[in-house]
A and B are shown apart, each in its own frame.
Chain A
Amino acid sequence: MLARIKQTLVAAVGVLFSISMFIALLGFMNGLNSLLDGMILNRTPHIRFYNEIKPNPNQPIQLSPEFAADLHSIRSVKPSTSRLAIHNSRAIIQKLEQDPRVLGVSPKLAAQVFFNVGTLDLSSNINGIDGFKETQLFGFEEYVIEGRVEDLNQLNTIILGKGVSDRMMAKVGDVVQVTTAQGNRIQLKVVGAFQSGLGDFDKTNSYASLVTVQKMLGQPASYFTDIQVKLHDFNQAPQLAKELGAIFEVDADDIQTVNAQFETGSEVRTIISYAVGITLLVVAGFGIYNILNMMIYEKLDSIAILKAIGFSPKDVNRIFTSIAILIGLVGSSLGLVVGYLLGVLIDHIPFETEALPTITTYPIDYNPKFYLIGGVFGLLTTYLAGFFPARKASSVDPVEIIRGK
């Protein structure tokens, strides 16, 4: 049966091709997925605590015992004038840092400002952050394309968004003038620029240290508008957001709710790449089926004589099944290797875009899961492809073949 080396080789190459494509495709797809997800999700806190500006749910009339049994109809309700800052923020941060499920906590202070450029006022947001924590938890440093994050530690310094600095034509070392919503004027020194990959975000956002922003606003050191939390397991976010939000009496958003569309997008992409990969394998399976079938027709004489001299149908079945499995084993294992090499190759193709300053080549995910799935499916399809021809071979009637001569 070894004579059909050429055909067997073709079959094995078919399996090899499909498995390697499967691996490369999934690796590439998932590499892109995690890159795109990372663009959003890595930068997004798993839970964000903040005070939402909204009408007070407890209006005075509801507290009055006189109208307790009546239907309340209130018009022109306005948001209450509660502070944007989180009450008792120090204690909340301390409590969060002690929670074993929490990876890290980073407070943030968002302020609305105007940059004064000549006669123009550009509206913008300045985010007061702790540069070290922001880098640690959200990879802030990766997006800083000019200057260093550490320089934010000096008072009255700012890292501008790429869009902002382009509009103001401000370079590192320049001084920009800022007016806060409260009317305070302040001079800030530009120490860097960042590019997040989201153009709109870069046009309207800049970063400064917490202390700088607190000083700008004339607020004390415990004044934060957001507390950003990163968890060990981000799947716990919705449940924890609910639980902690209730305890601290602040609003809490979890990552799943905020970025549901990204999850869906990457899920669909993954499904598509699996579908294509498995289709390739099935096609290769049909190839093997065909080759084995032809082999059996060519080898009818041999099968007949083997049966005549005492090979049982089971033995004949085993011979053909093992040919199929051999094809599968050789094809799959080589396929996995070639798939890996293809991945490495794609990994070295330059891929530079304005939006992603830290990416220089196409991303590839070398997750062993794909190799496992590819290998298992490769063996499974070849086994199934061999199963039916083998059964046919085992049911060959030797008398018919031998008498036919």
Chain B
Amino acid sequence: MAANRVLEAKSISKYFYNASTTQVLDQVSVQVNRGEFVTIMGKSGCGKSTLLYILSTMDTGYEGQLWLDGTLATGKDPSYLSQLRNEKIGFVFQFHYLLNEFTVLENVMIPALKLARLSRAEIEQQAMEKLRIFDMQDHAHKKPNQLSGGQKQRVSIARALINDPLLIMGDEPTGNLDHKNAALVFDKFKELTQELGQTLLIVTHDQEFAKATDRTIEMEDGKVLEKVSNQ
């Protein structure tokens, strides 16, 4: 396996058992290399989100194999997968999922506190740095419910970055934002890959968004159509 391969999924199939059995994913194979900005595109219901959750290790009910950073993630116990996610994957969702009980800064710090690789003071400093990337340092001590939607989403991206993850996964991260904010978030993603070499895997149905990335994996009816290089 190539050293720069961050994620590799081999012939993943998934079924939903809801009264009748429906196949959502059919022998899907996906690779993501280090430093790539990849989007998964497709109409709603094509299984792209399902695929993302399988790739994120949160969904374990599938057939096939999932390799993350050269280790097999399929069939591992939930605690191991939790730790793996904590260390190697950053998440950005359509909804920000910030905890209103904590300040913006604390929200960003949570994954790092869980990882406990650094002292609290160091984590705080790092969290501040990540917030600075998104120009959110002035809001660090506010509560999330005092921020606008775009600001919240930027904080949640900062949170995804805190542990310097191998891979950031996003499920429609701009889906809830207006044009201006969506563009802002997109630019930040672009900046991350170009300046920091961050690997990104984003699910979207926004054509424009997808076109501007390195590579788009297009899906339809649970199958990968073709792998288009945008360049």
Is the CB–CB distance between A309 and B95 below 8 Å?
no
Nearest neighbor of B102 in chain A, beta-carbon distance: A2
Contact residues in B for A402 (Cβ distance below 8 Å):
53, 93, 95, 97, 171
Within 8 A of A (CB), among B101-122: 101, 110-111, 114-115
Tell me the bound Cα distance from A302 to B93 in angstroms.
Answer: 13
Please determine whether B79 and A314 come into contact, CB atoms closer than 8 angstroms: yes
**Interfacial chain A residues near B11, Cβ < 8 Å:** none
Q: Tell me if A87 is interfacial: C-beta within 8 Å of chain B.
A: no
Contact call B85/A308, Cβ cutoff below 8 A: yes
Q: List residues of chain A with CB within 8 A of the CB of B115.
A: 310
Bitwise interface map of B from 83 to 106 toward A, beta carbon under 8 Å scored 1, else 0: 111110001011101011100000
Q: Is the CB of B58 within 8 A of A309?
A: no
- Residues A403 and B85 in contact, CB atoms below 8 Å apart: no
Answer yes or no: B153 CB below 8 A from chain A CBs: no
At the interface, yes or no: B199 with Cβ under 8 Å from chain A? Answer: no
Which residues of the other chain, B, contact A307 by a CB distance below 8 angstroms? Answer: 58, 82
Q: State whether the Cβ of B159 lies closer than 8 Å to any Cβ in chain A.
A: yes
Partner of A313 from B78, B91, B100 at Cβ < 8 Å: B78
Q: Quick one: closest A residue to B53, CB to CB?
A: A399
Nearest residue in A to B77 (C-beta to C-beta)?
A: A312
Q: Which residues of A contact B56 (CB under 8 A)?
A: 308
Assembly CA distance A172 to B95 (angstroms)? 93
A221 lies within 8 A of chain B by Cβ: no
Known interface pairs A307-B82, A309-B159, A399-B58; A315-B114 also in contact (CB < 8 Å): yes
Whether B59 pairs with A399 at a CB distance below 8 angstroms is: yes
- Name B95's contact: one of A3, A312, A398, A405 (CB within 8 Å): A405
Q: What class of interface size applies to chain B in its complex with A?
A: 20 to 34
Check if B78 sits within 8 Å of A310, measured CB to CB. no
CA A392 – CA B89 in complex, angstroms? 25
Is the C-beta of A305 less than 8 angstroms from some C-beta in chain B? yes
User: Are A311 and B82 in contact, with the CB atoms below 8 A?
Assistant: yes
Contact with A along B45-78 (1 / 0, CB 8 A): 0000100010010110000000000000000001
> At the interface, is chain A mostly helix, strand, loop or mixed?
helix
Kindly provide the distance from the CB of A9 to the nearest chain B CB, expressed in whole angstroms: 16
A311–B93 CB distance below 8 A: no
Q: A310–B94 contact, CB under 8 A?
A: no
* Of B49, B58, B78, B101, the contact of A312 (CB 8 Å cutoff): B78
Within 366-405 of A, Cβ neighbours of B (below 8 Å) are at: 398-399, 402-403, 405
CB pair B83–A301 under 8 Å, yes or no, is no
Cα(A304)–Cα(B58), bound, Å: 10
Q: Which residue of B lies closest to A395 (CB)?
A: B78
Chain A residues with Cβ below 8 Å from B84 are 310
B5 → chain A, closest Cβ, in Å?
Answer: 22
A312 CA to B59 CA, complexed, in Å: 14
| Chain A nearest Cβ from B53, distance in angstroms | 5
- Cβ contacts under 8 Å, A304 to chain B: 97
A52-69 CB mask vs B (1 if < 8 Å, else 0) is: 000000000000000000
A405→B83 contact, CB < 8 A: no
Chain A min CB distance to B37 (Å): 21
Query: Chain B contacts of A399 at CB under 8 A?
Result: 53, 58-59
Known contacts being A308-B91, A309-B110, is A403 close to B49, with CB within 8 Å?
yes
Residues of B within 8 A of A315 (CB): 82, 114
A405: chain B residues at CB < 8 Å are 93-95
> Are B114's CB and A309's CB within 8 A?
yes
Chain A residues with CB under 8 Å of chain B are: 1-3, 301-302, 304-315, 398-399, 402-403, 405
11 contacts across the A-B interface (CB closer than 8 A): A305-B97, A305-B99, A307-B82, A308-B56, A308-B97, A309-B114, A310-B83, A311-B114, A398-B58, A399-B53, A405-B94
4 A-B pairs with least C-beta separation: A310-B86, A312-B82, A305-B97, A312-B79
